[in-house]
A and B are shown apart, each in its own frame.
Chain A
Amino acid sequence: MKELLYKEFKLAVNPAFYILLLLPVLILIPSWIYFIAMSYLFFIVIPNVFLMANSNNDTFFSVLMPVKKSDLVKSKLMSVIILEILNIAIAVPFAIINFILYKNNFFMDPNIAFFGFVLIMYAIFNLTFIPGYYKTGYKIAFPIIKAIIFAVLFAFLIETTRFVFPDMRTLFDTRNGSIIWQLLILVAGIIIFVLSNIAAFKISAKRFEKLDL
Chain B
Amino acid sequence: MSVLNIQKISKTYANFKLKDVSFNLEKGYIMGFIGVNGAGKTTTLKSILNMIHIESGNISVFNMDSEKDELQIKQNIGCMFGGIDFYPKQKIKCIKDVVKRFYDNWDEEVYRKYLKYFNLDEEKKVCELSNGMKVKFNLVLALSHGAKLFIFDEPTTGLDPAARDDVLEIFQEIIEDGEKSIIFSTHIVSDLEKCADYITYIDNGEIIASTLKDEFIDSYRIVKGSKKVLERVKNDLISHKENSFGFMGLIKFENINKNEEYEIFEADLEDIMIYYAKRGASDERIIV
Contacts and interface: CB of A to CB of B under 8 A. Distances in A.
Interface of A: 2-3, 6-7, 10-11, 56-58, 60-61, 63-68, 210, 212-213
A87 B162 CA distance: 52
A6 B51 contact: no
Contact of B51 (A56, A210, A212): A212
Nearest to B99: A65
B81 A60 contact: yes
Contacts of A212: 46, 51-53
A67 B89 CA distance: 24
B87 to A, nearest CB: 5
Contacts of B89: 56
Given A6-B98, A66-B70, 6 more contacts: A3-B102, A11-B94, A57-B85, A60-B84, A67-B102, A212-B51
Contacts of B72: 66
Given A3-B101, A56-B87, A68 B49 contact: no
Interface in B67-95: 70-75, 79, 81, 84-90, 94-95
Contacts of A60: 81, 84, 86
Contacts of B79: 64
A11 B70 CA distance: 24
27 contacts: A2-B101, A6-B98, A7-B101, A10-B94, A10-B98, A11-B87, A11-B90, A11-B95, A56-B89, A57-B84, A57-B86, A57-B87, A60-B81, A61-B86, A64-B74, A64-B79, A65-B102, A66-B72, A66-B74, A66-B102, A66-B103, A67-B71, A67-B102, A68-B70, A68-B71, A212-B53, A213-B51
B99 A210 contact: no
Contacts of A68: 70-71
Interface in B23-71: 46, 49, 51-53, 70-71
Given A64-B79, A66-B71, A213-B52, A6 B101 contact: yes
Interface string B92-129: 00110111011100000000000000000000000000
Contacts of A2: 101
A14 to B, nearest CB: 10
Nearest to B87: A56
The prevalent SS among residues of A at the interface is helix
Contacts of B85: 57
Contacts of A63: 49, 51
A213 B81 CA distance: 12
A56 B86 contact: yes
A132 B221 CA distance: 55
A93 B75 CA distance: 45
Nearest to B103: A66
Contacts of A58: 86-87
A66 to B, nearest CB: 4
A10 B86 contact: no
Nearest to A56: B87
Nearest to A210: B53
A7 B100 CA distance: 11
B51 A66 contact: no
Contacts of A210: 53
B53 A7 contact: no
Contacts of A213: 46, 51-52
Nearest to A2: B101
Contacts of B74: 64-66
Contacts of B102: 3, 65-67
Contact of A11 (B75, B84, B98, B103): B98
Enumerate the 7 nearest inter-chain pairs by beta-carbon distance, A residue then B residue, closest first: A66-B74, A3-B101, A61-B86, A212-B52, A65-B102, A213-B51, A56-B87
Nearest to B88: A56
A3 B89 CA distance: 20
Contacts of A57: 84-87
B213 to A, nearest CB: 28
